[in-house]
Amino acid sequence: MAKSLFIAAIDKDSGKTTTSICLMHLAQKKYHRVGFFKPFGGQTLRFRRTVVDKDVALMAQVFDLKTAPETMSPVVLSTDTTHNVVDGKISPADLQEKILHAYAELEKECDFIIVEGSGHPGVGAVMGISNAHIAKLLNTPVLLVTGGGLGNVVDRLALILPLFEKESVDVRAILVNRLVAEKRERSLDYLCRALKNEPFKVIGGFDYQPILANPTLRRVSSLLGLPVLGNRRDLQKIIYRVLVGAASTHRFIELMQEPSLILVTSSRDELLVTLAHLYRMPQYRSLIVGLVISGAAPIDPITQQILDKSRIPYLRDELRTSAELYQKIDRDVSKIIADDTEKLDLIRSLAELSFDFDAIDELFS
């Protein structure tokens, strides 16, 4: 029988997938056969001719997993799945059986399995497959991922832990992510003392790493539904800052201090030409991830020729303003994909520094 742990989180976007990547990386150093299991998910894509949860496709590509995708992702939700369950067209018992059957097949192939939940622990309850209920069905102890802080973490746990207690699920540890490096030890000390009467262990996770939440040029292209023109070789480059080209050209150049995505209107010929020239200079090229050129007015033909000759990456949107585009990018929480090599390399290196896998493995044995 394979060892396993269930990664849940107090809320969506708390770092479940990043934690899964860390543990997969470390587990493969210790175990010969490591598996990944996403019982159900609604964010899907087609992978190896099968529609699966996007996290399954990510893990399979990053860690070269050979298991059939449908085994790792047994239940894929559509927009009307919940309504069909309530209408009696889909049985919760059938969904549960599908998950159990796939997990049993995966166990035959693996020594260690990482199970990743969806959203917060209650997600899926309307279909009888909440994270807490699945953890019970699979008889898998839970690692609960939280954000940093003290009161916020303890208060959220007060709401969430009863879901697991109701299902008699064993929450073995909470993993505290996004700690402020300078306050890491103090924060963990206070949490340990605040939760001293709880049966689970408090484990420190990642310190806050803004880079992991920052989008890549590829992500922005997908988010905005716009193709990248010019140089497409650096689509995986991480955007540290989004700048709006409202200042004077001279002032704007002074603001470029880290790799930036620059939003500029099509009528700002001087700025567009300057950025195109700067992109060809080594000392500035690393600071310009790309441009998003907005505005209904056509780009001046000479300016367009300069842009094309420089090969500066850019996206063109004639319908939305720079302010609208900025808001859309700013609201986005970037998700990691297999092509984000820079982020994945960073996560692996951080895993080596931040996680004691042997201690976690022993705790969940």
Give Cβ neighbours of residue 64 (< 8 Å, ≥ 6 apart).
none
Q: What is the CATH number of domain 3-208+337-363?
A: 3.40.50.300
Residue bearing tokens 């991480």: 238
User: How many Cα atoms are found within 13 Å in the side-chain-facing hemisphere of 23?
Assistant: 27
Q: What is the pairing mode between strands 142-146 and 3-9?
A: parallel
- The answer to whether the beta carbons of residues 115 and 4 sit under 8 Å apart is yes
Q: Dihedral of CA 99/104/108/111: which sign?
A: positive
Distances (CA, A) of 146 to 1, 94, 149, 209, 251: 29, 31, 9, 15, 41
- How many residues are present in the chain? 365
Q: Compute how many other C-beta atoms are within 10 angstroms of the C-beta atom of residue 199.
A: 8
Tokens coding 119:
């959203």
User: What is the C-alpha to C-alpha distance for residues 291 and 278, in angstroms, rounded to an integer?
Assistant: 13
Element at 119 (helix H, strand E): none
Task: Chunk the chain into consecutive blocks of 10 residues (it has 365) and report each block's average pLDDT, rounded to whole numbers.
Answer: 92 84 95 96 89 94 95 94 94 96 96 93 92 95 91 92 94 92 91 94 86 86 95 90 87 87 95 96 94 95 96 96 90 80 88 90 92
Structure tokens at 291: 């441009």
| Per-residue confidence (pLDDT) for residue 159, from 0 to 100 | 92
- Record: fold of 215-331: 3.40.1390
Domain ranges of the chain: 3-208+337-363, 215-331
Q: What is the largest CA-CA distance in the chain?
A: 70
Residue 293: predicted pLDDT: 97
pLDDT at 234: 86
**Token representation of residue 60:** 């399979």
